[in-house]
Structure 1
Amino acid sequence: MTQLKYILSKIQLPEQSVKNTIALLNEDCTIPFISRYRKERTGNLDEVQIERIVKFRDEYEILEKRKKTVLKALEEQAVLTAELEHKIGLIQDLSTLEDVYLPFKKSRKTKAEKARQNGLEALAKIIMSQNAKDIDIIAYKYVKGDVASIEDALEGARHIIAEWVNERSDIRHNIRRQLERHAMISTKVVKSKATEEHAQKFRDYFDWEEALSRIPSHRLLAILRAEKEGFIRLKIEIDHDRALDNIERKILKSNNECSEQIEIAIKDAYKRLLLPSLSNEALQIAKDKADESAINVFAKNLRQLLLGSPLGEKRVLAIDPGFRTGCKVVCLDAQGQLKYNETIYPHPPKSDSTGAIKKISSLCDAYKIEAIAIGNGTASRETEALIRKVHFKNDVQVFVVSEAGASIYSASKIAREEFPNYDVTVRGSVSIGRRLQDPLAELVKIDAKSIGVGQYQHDVDQSKLQKQLDVVVENCVNAVGVNINTASKSLLSYVSGIGPKLAENIFNYRNEHGVFQSRTDIKKVPRLGGKAFEQGAAFLRIKDAKNPLDDSAVHPERYVVVSKMAKDLGKSVQELIGNSALLNRIDLKQYCTDTVGLFTLEDIVKELEKPGLDVREQAKVFTFNQNIKTINDLREGQLLPGIVNNITNFGCFVNVGIKESGLIHVSNLSDGFVKDVNEHVSLHQQIIVKVLEVDVPRKRIQLKLHK
């Protein structure tokens, strides 16, 4: 099967679209570039559809690589026939391939291999013929050497038969199907650990049973973590009698002494070989599905977080709150550059609130501060209350900003390079302020797994998680676009076709030669060739450039088209931009060519209407209930403002202004059935919640979405 046919068997997309997309990928084109600037070739496939093509292309390559390995091994053993090679060529999944290869694998020291070495394979074949009589007399002929008795001979023969049963692909397929449809996962607590404090968060699974096919991803991952930490033991089981009956019907053809031996061998094969192997496989498949679900949740959350509302280029005073160590204060200019830093001590034990208020007031005046960003960690509410007592000369907006991952950034190599002369506390405050100005530009500097917006992210396949998160970051960065003259190396590295090395070259070139005046200047960056320019230029923006298209998402390769549109209207390109009346007069069909179609032309006109439009909403001020400071202040029935700070498959967590986040279970998001939590709430959404239950000892809060 060809790569194209394999992919088409997995997804319902036009063959030509898939074929052209594969060709573009093979030309080292990126997903953001293909989805945005090669719509004619792909038939307007979006990023998600192209990502799926990439996924199945990779699957195909893994399968083909394994097939080559298997074929080579079979050839070396001189057992590869034309029929077997053809059969392997038709296989479309790894498990079937391994089943076919299983009988030919070089055995380690198994019971069956030992029996063969003792010369018992001939006896096993006689028994499997199922027409021999006086089997004990026949078996006696094999009593010699290490085979001390008739029973030893029969047992050895049964071990060989058990291996044959285990290697039959039809039998493995049958049990695999039973596990897929009917397997139950059950758990039992390890009694010696049942009373341990850490075990209590898993107590729901001390005695649990559920269909493996229906278990939610978060529950399976929780069970697997509990097992890994030694608090429970789990089993995967099916109806054993039914499974054995199915095997016996395939093998037993008589009712005699031979069939009695075969029946014993079947039970041994099932219990010792088939069930352990295939139940582990079924559990791994379920784990892979749970991983995929959890990774998708993390990816959705990360996307929403990265595309969070930016305040924009405003002068910001940022505060990293604290009690004993004080509040770290920094002042940033509109581009996020550090202008001043200091520590104030408004809270116990020093309690210098008067001095802190005066200092904040004078700093806001001196640096013409337009907004204040307060970290949401320890002493956040107290600091927010203090700031609201300050009398500002100008209008200053106050925001509470998530600190998640700020400590990771402040101790990172990136932070040390940006602020070599400042300690981690100052860097952390700067990160808080910059997150308000532009969440995307700041969060790309932090390992996404440290941001804390997933579920069981440490339990899933880490390579798959990292790969998916990298795709999300890349898509978000390119959806927004990057100001090449202000972007950090981290942000530049995610631009289509750029990567870490070219990002560093761009950064260094900018420092040495000054700001880029045009997109053409980008070609002067060392080692940035034609391919990288093609892939990345349209995502790199240049403010106040001579050519206004340099600050738009119009690709340089299409500037000629825009110039022709303007010329035909008797206007300049500058006069076209933002002029809907002029743009509506353009007959797009007359600009269609073999390479430029309506998809591209419609995108160009849309971009010219609002060039460089940020797809993100602007940040809005939010105020928590000032009477709620700790979990002890919560009461059932209260209606409170809150911000969604994490989304999972089983609901969402909401910050209501205290240390503990409350949970809106999926059943409390709507009166009707909820298929997808994301259809009802989004990350950082401002909502009103109703308090349903408060468990102070366990620090758990149950909420309901109030509409």
Structure 2
Amino acid sequence: MTVLSYIIAQTNLPEQSVKNTVNLLNDACTVPFIARYRKEQTGDLTDVQIGEIVTFKEQFEALEKRKNTILKALEEQGALSATLQQAIAATHDLTVLEDLYLPFKKSRKTKAETARKNGLEPLAKIIMSQNTANLEAAAQPYVKGTITSTELALEGARHIIAEWLNERTDLRNYIRKQLERHAMLVTSVIKTKKDTPDAQKFRDYFEWEEALNRIPSHRLLAILRAEKEGFIKFKINLDTNRIINRLEAKILKTHNACAQAIQLAIQDAYKRLLFPSLANEALQKAKEKADASAIQVFAKNLQQLLLGSPLGEKRVLAIDPGFRSGCKLVCLDAQGNLLYNETIYPHAPKNDALGAMKKISALAEAYKIEAIAIGNGTASRETEALIRKIHLKNKLQVFVVSEAGASIYSASKIAREEFPNYDITVRGAVSIGRRLQDPLAELVKIDAKSIGVGQYQHDVDQVKLQKELDRVVENCVNAVGVNINTASKSLLSYVSGIGPKLAENIVNYRKETGVFKTRQAIKNVPRLGDKAFEQSAAFLRIKSSNNPLDDSAVHPESYPIVEKMATDLGMPISELIGKSEVLKKINLSAYCSNSVGLPTLQDILKELEKPGLDIREQAKVFSFNKNITSITDVAPGQLLPGIVNNITNFGAFVDIGIKESGLIHVSNLADSFVSDVNAHVALHQQVLVKVLEVDVPRKRIQLKLEH
């Protein structure tokens, strides 16, 4: 099987689309570039479909690499027969491949290996033939050396038989199917830890039993975490007697003494070898499935967060609120540059509310502030109430902004490079203000796992998680586009074809020579060659270029097409842009060629109509219920405004303006069955919820979504 046939079998995508996409990937093209600018070659595949091709291409390549490793090992052992080589070449499943290799693995010293060294393999073969009635007599010749009795000889022979049974693919597959269908995950609490405060969050799993094939992702990950932290223990249960009886029916042909010995070997093989390894394999598969589900939830949440509503290029006064340590205040210009910083103390213990209000009013006027951003952490509600008391000359919008991950950024190398002369409190406040201006540009500076929009992100496969999060960030950055003259190194590094090193080169070039005036000037950046320019140019925007196409998603390779359109219409490109009525008159088929078809031409026309359009909605002001300041103020029956701050497979968490977020369980999102939480709510969506239940000791609030 070739990589193409493997991908087609897994995806059911058209052969030519897969072939062309694989060729583009092999030519170092990125997914965003292929999805946007190579639609003719891919048959208009989406970025998701192209991502699937990437995944299965990597799977196939990993499988082939493992095959080659195994073939080389077998050759070195002199164990590679033509039949085995053919079987390995024919398999497309990693589990099957490992089963084929299992009998030849060089493992640690085993009971079976010891028995072989003691010369007991011929006795094992005699027993397996099931033709001998007198085993004592058959075992007598093998009593020598360390084997001092027939009982020890028979025991050693059974160890060899147990290993043979463990290596039988048919038996392993049978037990796999039984585990897939009937395995139960059973937990029990560690009694010495039962009453500790840290154990209480896992209280639901102190005594739990659930089918392994039906356990939801979040529950399995919670149980695994509880076990890892030492609060519970768990085991996989299966009907042992039924399985052993079935194995006996597959293997035994007689009822003589040999059969009795084989029965003992079957029990040993199952309990010592087959069940432990295959139960662990089943648990690992369930964990991989749970990881994939959790990672997908995290990815969806991250995408919604990154594409959150920006305020845009507005001058912002940002406040990182606090009580004893005061509120750190910064003023930013429209591009997010720090103009001024100070600490005010409006709350206890200093209670200088009047002085703080005067200071904010003076700064708002002095720096021509257009909006105020307040972090949503400690003292957020109190600071917001203070701001709303100030009689400002110009009415300003006041936004409460998520602080998630701001502390990670403020202590990071990126923050130190941006603000070497300021401490972490100033950097944190700057981050809050910039998040309001452009969430995407600021959040890409933070490790996505620290943003807090997933669940059990530290328990899932970290390599797979990082890979998926990088993919999400890359897709979001390229979907929005980047102003090359203002973008940070972090933001630029996610642009198609750029990466960290070229991003650094771009920033350094910008510092040395000034702003880029045209897209063609991007080619002057050191080490940015033709391939990198091809992949990145259309995602990099030049706001002040003489060519208006430089501030659009039209690729430079398509500029001649637009120029011809403008010439045919008898007007300059600048007059063509934004003129819907004129653009509708263009006959696109007249501009089709062997390399450019209708999909690309339609994209060009759409971009000319609204060049550089930001796909994100603009930020909106939101206010919590002023009477709700702690969980003790929350009562069943209340209708409260809130903001969705996390989404899981079992529901959505909502910030209602207090420390504890409430949960809208999946069953309370709608009156009908809900299969996908994201179909009903989005991250940072402003919602109205009804309080169903409040558990103050456990700090839990149950909510219902009001429509």
TM-score by length of 1: 0.99
SS of residue in 2 equivalent to 1:141? helix
Matched residue type, 1:341: N
Where does structure 2 lack aligned partners over 5 or more consecutive residues? none
Between the aligned partners of 1:410 and 1:103, the Cα distance in structure 2 is 54
Question: Could you say which residue in structure 2 is the equivalent of 1:43?
Answer: 43
Matched residue type, 1:496: S
State the shift of 1:195 in Å.
1.7
Question: Could you say which residue in structure 2 is the equivalent of 1:699?
Answer: 699
2:432 matches 1:451: no
Question: Could you say which residue in structure 1 is the equivalent of 2:655?
Answer: 655
2:554 matches 1:554: yes
Between the aligned partners of 1:593 and 1:342, the Cα distance in structure 2 is 61
State the shift of 1:108 in Å.
2.3
SS of residue in 1 equivalent to 2:142? coil
Decide which moves more: 189-198 or 513-522. 189-198
Between the aligned partners of 1:4 and 1:244, the Cα distance in structure 2 is 42
Alignment of 1:225-244 (within 5 A): 225-244=225-244
Between the aligned partners of 1:394 and 1:650, the Cα distance in structure 2 is 44
State the shift of 1:245 in Å.
2.5
Between the aligned partners of 1:280 and 1:106, the Cα distance in structure 2 is 20
Question: Could you say which residue in structure 1 is the equivalent of 2:682?
Answer: 682
2:657 matches 1:672: no
SS of residue in 2 equivalent to 1:388? helix
Matched residue type, 1:596: V
Between the aligned partners of 1:569 and 1:610, the Cα distance in structure 2 is 19
Cα offsets for 1:372-413 (capped at 9, x unmatched)? 000000100000000001111112100000011111111111
Question: Could you say which residue in structure 2 is the equivalent of 1:493?
Answer: 493
Question: Could you say which residue in structure 1 is the equivalent of 2:432?
Answer: 432
SS of residue in 1 equivalent to 2:389? coil
Where does structure 1 lack aligned partners over 5 or more consecutive residues? none
2:245 matches 1:245: yes
Between the aligned partners of 1:190 and 1:410, the Cα distance in structure 2 is 40
Question: Could you say which residue in structure 1 is the equivalent of 2:339?
Answer: 339
Q: How many residues align?
A: 707
Question: Could you say which residue in structure 1 is the equivalent of 2:609?
Answer: 609
Question: Could you say which residue in structure 1 is the equivalent of 2:255?
Answer: 255
2:126 matches 1:126: yes
2:138 matches 1:138: yes
Question: Could you say which residue in structure 2 is the equivalent of 1:2?
Answer: 2
Between the aligned partners of 1:503 and 1:147, the Cα distance in structure 2 is 70
2:468 matches 1:468: yes
Cα offsets for 1:65-91 (capped at 9, x unmatched)? 111111111111112111111110111
Between the aligned partners of 2:651 and 2:109, the Cα distance in structure 1 is 50
On the 8 A contact 1:70/1:101 being kept in 2, the answer is yes
Question: Could you say which residue in structure 1 is the equivalent of 2:70?
Answer: 70
Cα offsets for 1:264-300 (capped at 9, x unmatched)? 1011100000000000000000000000000000000
| Percent of aligned positions that are identical | 74
Matched residue type, 1:465: L
Matched residue type, 2:496: S
Between the aligned partners of 1:219 and 1:358, the Cα distance in structure 2 is 51
Question: Could you say which residue in structure 1 is the equivalent of 2:414?
Answer: 414
Matched residue type, 1:259: A
Matched residue type, 2:229: E
SS of residue in 1 equivalent to 2:616? coil
State the shift of 1:582 in Å.
0.8
TM-score by length of 2: 0.99
Between the aligned partners of 1:523 and 1:296, the Cα distance in structure 2 is 37
2:322 matches 1:326: no
Between the aligned partners of 2:498 and 2:277, the Cα distance in structure 1 is 45
2:165 matches 1:160: no
Cα offsets for 1:576-625 (capped at 9, x unmatched)? 10001111011111111111011100000000000000000000000111
State the shift of 1:250 in Å.
2.0
Between the aligned partners of 2:298 and 2:495, the Cα distance in structure 1 is 21
State the shift of 1:364 in Å.
0.6
Decide which moves more: 410-419 or 305-314. 410-419
Question: Could you say which residue in structure 2 is the equivalent of 1:116?
Answer: 116
Question: Could you say which residue in structure 1 is the equivalent of 2:211?
Answer: 211
Decide which moves more: 582-591 or 682-691. 582-591
Alignment of 1:396-407 (within 5 A): 396-407=396-407
State the shift of 1:106 in Å.
2.2
SS of residue in 2 equivalent to 1:191? coil
Matched residue type, 1:445: K
Between the aligned partners of 1:647 and 1:619, the Cα distance in structure 2 is 20
2:151 matches 1:151: yes
On the 8 A contact 1:107/1:113 being kept in 2, the answer is no
Alignment of 1:287-366 (within 5 A): 287-366=287-366
Question: Could you say which residue in structure 2 is the equivalent of 1:79?
Answer: 79
Cα offsets for 1:295-330 (capped at 9, x unmatched)? 000000000000000000001000011111111111
Cα offsets for 1:137-169 (capped at 9, x unmatched)? 111111111111111111111000000000001
State the shift of 1:517 in Å.
0.3
Question: Could you say which residue in structure 2 is the equivalent of 1:178?
Answer: 178
Cα offsets for 1:544-585 (capped at 9, x unmatched)? 210000000000000000111111111111111000111101
Between the aligned partners of 1:509 and 1:72, the Cα distance in structure 2 is 49
Cα offsets for 1:417-459 (capped at 9, x unmatched)? 1111111111111100000000000000000111000010010
Alignment of 1:367-382 (within 5 A): 367-382=367-382
